[in-house]
Amino acid sequence: MRVLIVEDERRLAEALGQIMEEQRYQADLVYDGADGLDYALSGQYDVIVLDVMLPKLDGLEVVHRLRCAHVSTPVLMLTARDEIDDKISGLDHGADDYMTKPFDSGELLARVRALTRRQGEVQGEELCVDDLTLSLTTRALTCREKSVRLGFKEFAVLRLLMSSPKAVIPKEEIISRVWGLESDAEDNNVEVYISFLRKKLSFLGSRVSIGTVRKVGYHLEVPAP
């Protein structure tokens, strides 16, 4: 799980980073709104912790621009102010949750967990689409009786697809989310893994299949019920 922390008070930012890393999140820290927006636009994060009062670019503005760019990473806003109007305005700008400083680190973690859980659409340890169940802990893919083990990359690719079923995931996005932002993986790598996955899907006899959208990417297809 990757977290982006945008907070201009360095000491607080680093404390947050440490808290998150203790929970095995991978945290990136940036200290102003402009950098925050740049990083966030990469879409590689699972959640963003965002201060409202920031140099260069206001937190509200950051969320707003993010949403305009169709980046839907969950955002948890932080603020020193405790005005209800601010809360509403934050949420309406596209934030997903809101906390006022000072806050309890346990509550922060709980809220972050709640936000990241929604991503997979499914709570807890598994991701389901139609007759498929992907265990997030064992990386086992199950359909009815049968079950197969996925490799790490296979898992990462399928997880991406399953976490927004129907949506078409562009190849570049798969590359940046699975191989990393600055990797030199080529399109063919994705194709090969899609091929691996289709083989396993058909072995399992699942109703779900992976559809191709030429020149764009892939998406899950589940036959009408």
Partner DNA sequence: GGATATTTTCAGACAAATTTCAGGATCCTC
Partner DNA sequence: GAGGATCCTGAAATTTGTCTGAAAATATCC
Stretch that binds DNA, among 9-17, 55-63, 70-78, 146-154 (CB under 7 A): 146-154
Query: What is the rounded CA–CA span in Å between residue 178 and residue 169?
Result: 12
Contacts with a second copy, 122-151, as mask; x by CB under 8 A? xxx---x--------xxx-----------x
Contacts with DNA, 110-139, as mask; x by CB under 7 A? ------------------------------
Work out whether 31 is an interface residue with DNA (CB under 7 A): no
Binding partner of residue 57 among DNA, a second copy, none, CB cut-off 5 to 8 Å per kind: none
Amino acid at site 207: R
- 8 A C-beta contact, residue 185 and residue 175: yes
Looking at 149, 166, 167, 205, which residue binds DNA (CB under 7 A)?
149
Binding to DNA in span 183-202, by CB under 7 A: 185-189, 191-195, 198-199
Q: Which is nearer to DNA, 137 or 188 (CB)?
A: 188
Q: Tokens in use for 222?
A: 């589940």
| Residue burial 173-185, b: 16+ Cβ < 10 Å; e: rest | bbbbbbbeeeeee
Q: φ, ψ for residue 126 (rounded to 5)?
A: -140, 160
Q: φ, ψ for residue 135 (rounded to 5)?
A: -80, 125
Work out whether 180 is an interface residue with a second copy (CB under 8 A): no
